[in-house]
Amino acid sequence: MDRYGELAQAIVDGDEIQVLKTVRRLLKNGADPLKVISVGLVGGMESVGYMFSKKEIFISDVIISARVMKSGIDLVRRMCKAPARRPLGKVVLGTVKGDIHDIGKNLVGIMLEIGGFLVYDLGVNVEPQQFVKAVKERNAQILAMSAQLTTTVLNMQTTIEAIKAAGMRDDVKIIIGGLAVSRRFADKIGADGYSHDASSAVCLCRRLLKIRQTGGRNRGPDLRIVKRQRRERSDT
Ligand code: B12
C-alpha cells in the first residue's frame, strides 16, 4: 500500500495520529496538496460512506472518521497557506439550512482558497437570510451553497429567492454542489453553476467571473506582454 492508501486507511480506522503523521510526511516530501486531499482523505471518506451504506459500520464510526478527516484538512490548510496576494474574488460559502454535512463544503472552501479566492465560510445549517446578509456585507461576487440531503435542497431555491427579493441577484453569481444536487437541479432553481467536486468548483468560479484560466496556481504576469514590453524597450 502506498502513502495515499495508508492515509485513506487511517481515515477509515479513525486514527487521527496516523492521519496527521501521513499528511505531514506527504506534504514535506513535496506531494501535491490537492492529491493528498482528493486521493488520500476523500478516498478514505468514500470508503467510509460505502461501508456505512452496506451497514458494515455504525454512524458513530462515520462521525469519528469525519472528525479525523477535518483535522487532516485543517493540517493541509495550515501547511499550504497561500501567500498573501490580491484575491481573485470573494466567495460566501455555506451548507444550507437543515443540513449539517460539512466535509464536502470544507473541501470546496480550501480548494477555492488555494485557487486564490477569499472565502467567507458561514458553516452549516445556514438560514437564507444569513446568506443574503453575508453577501451584502462582504460584497461577495460568488455565493456557494452545499447540500447533502434531499430534504434540504429546496433551501437553496429559497435562498436564491431571498437574494432576488433583496435586489442583489444581478450582483452575485450563485453556485451549488453536494451529493443531493445536480446540474439539472441548478438550472431548475436558477443557479448560475454547478460542479460535482471541489477542484472543478475553482474552474467554475473563474469562468463565472471571467478570469483567464491559468491551468494552475501560476498567476504571474502574461509572458507575451512582458516579452512585447522588453522588445519595445530595446527598440527605443
Ligand atoms: C459523513 C456523513 C455524515 C456525517 C457528517 C459529518 C460532517 N461533519 O459532515 C454525519 C454522521 C454527522 C451524518 C449525519 C447525517 N446524515 Co450523512 N452522510 C455522511 C456520508 C457517509 C459522507 C458524506 C461526505 O462527507 N462525503 C465526502 C465529501 C467529500 O463528498 P461530498 O460531500 O459529496 O462533497 C463533494 C462534492 O459533492 C462537491 N461539493 C460539496 N458541496 C459543494 C458545494 C459547492 C458550491 C460545489 C460547487 C461543490 C460541492 O465537492 C465535494 C468535494 O469534492 C454520506 C454518504 C456518502 N456516501 O456520501 C451520508 C449521507 C449524505 N447522509 C445521509 C443522511 C440521511 C444523514 C442523516 C439524516 C442521518 C440520520 N438519520 O441522522 C444525518 C443528517 C443530519 C443533518 N441534519 O444534516 C444520507 C443522505 C440521503 C439523502 N439523499 O438525503 C447519505 C447519502 C447516506 C445514505 N446513503 O443514506 N452524515
Q: Which atom of ligand 1 is nearest to the CA of 180?
A: 83
CA distance 232 to 212: 25
Please give the average per-residue pLDDT across 132-158, as a whole number: 97
Least confident of 112-116, 144-148, 155-159: 112-116
Express as a percent the part of the chain with pLDDT over 70. Answer: 88
**Pocket of ligand 1 contains residue 2 by CB under 6 Å:** no
CA distance 76 to 187: 34
Q: pLDDT tens across 173-229, in order?
A: 999 999 999 999 999 999 999 999 888 899 999 999 988 765 444 343 344 443 444
Mutate to test the pocket of ligand 1, among 101, 185, 197 (most ligand atoms within 8 A of CB): 101
Q: Please give the pLDDT value at position 220.
A: 39
Please give the average per-residue pLDDT across 111-122, as a whole number: 89
Q: Whose CA is nearest to atom 55 of ligand 1?
A: 49
Q: Is the separation of the CB atoms in 131 and 162 below 8 Å?
A: yes
Mean pLDDT of the chain: 87
Q: Whose CA is nearest to atom 10 of ligand 1?
A: 63
Size (the chain), residues: 236
> pLDDT: is 98 or 54 the higher one?
98
Mutate to test the pocket of ligand 1, among 63, 174, 179 (most ligand atoms within 8 A of CB): 179
pLDDT exceeds 80 at position 85 = no
CATH class of 90-208: alpha beta
**Pocket of ligand 1 contains residue 199 by CB under 6 Å:** no
AA letter at 223? L
Q: Is the separation of the CB atoms in 40 and 7 below 8 Å?
A: yes
**Pocket of ligand 1 contains residue 105 by CB under 6 Å:** yes
Q: Whose CA is nearest to atom 51 of ligand 1?
A: 104
Please report, for the chain, the start and end positions of each structural domain, with discontinuous segments joined by +. 3-79, 90-208
Q: Whose CA is nearest to atom 53 of ligand 1?
A: 197
When pLDDT is cut at 50, 70 and 90, the band that residue 231 belongs to is low
Give the Cβ contact number of residue 71 at 10 Å: 14
Q: Which three cell numbers stand for residue 136?
A: 451584502
Express as a percent the part of the chain with pLDDT over 90. Answer: 64
Q: Whose CA is nearest to atom 69 of ligand 1?
A: 59
Q: 67: which DSSP letter?
A: H
Q: pLDDT tens across 26-36, in order?
A: 999 988 887 89
Q: Please give the pLDDT value at position 213.
A: 64
Q: Please give the pLDDT value at position 86.
A: 80
Give the Cβ contact number of residue 218 at 10 Å: 6
What is the helix (H) or strand (E) element at residue 229, kind and residue range? helix 223-235
Q: Which superfamily does CATH assign the domain made up of 3-79 to?
A: Methionine synthase domain (1.10.1240.10)
**Pocket of ligand 1 contains residue 125 by CB under 6 Å:** no
When pLDDT is cut at 50, 70 and 90, the band that residue 83 belongs to is low
Q: Is the separation of the CB atoms in 7 and 19 below 8 Å?
A: yes
Q: Please give the pLDDT value at position 198.
A: 84
Please give the average per-residue pLDDT across 71-92, as a whole number: 84
Q: Which atom of ligand 1 is nearest to the CA of 200?
A: 47
Q: Please give the pLDDT value at position 75.
A: 92
Q: Whose CA is nearest to atom 61 of ligand 1?
A: 148
Nearest Cα to Cα of residue 148 among 99, 198, 201, 191: 99
Mutate to test the pocket of ligand 1, among 148, 153, 189 (most ligand atoms within 8 A of CB): 148
**Pocket of ligand 1 contains residue 101 by CB under 6 Å:** yes
Q: pLDDT tens across 46-72, in order?
A: 899 999 998 899 989 999 999 999 899
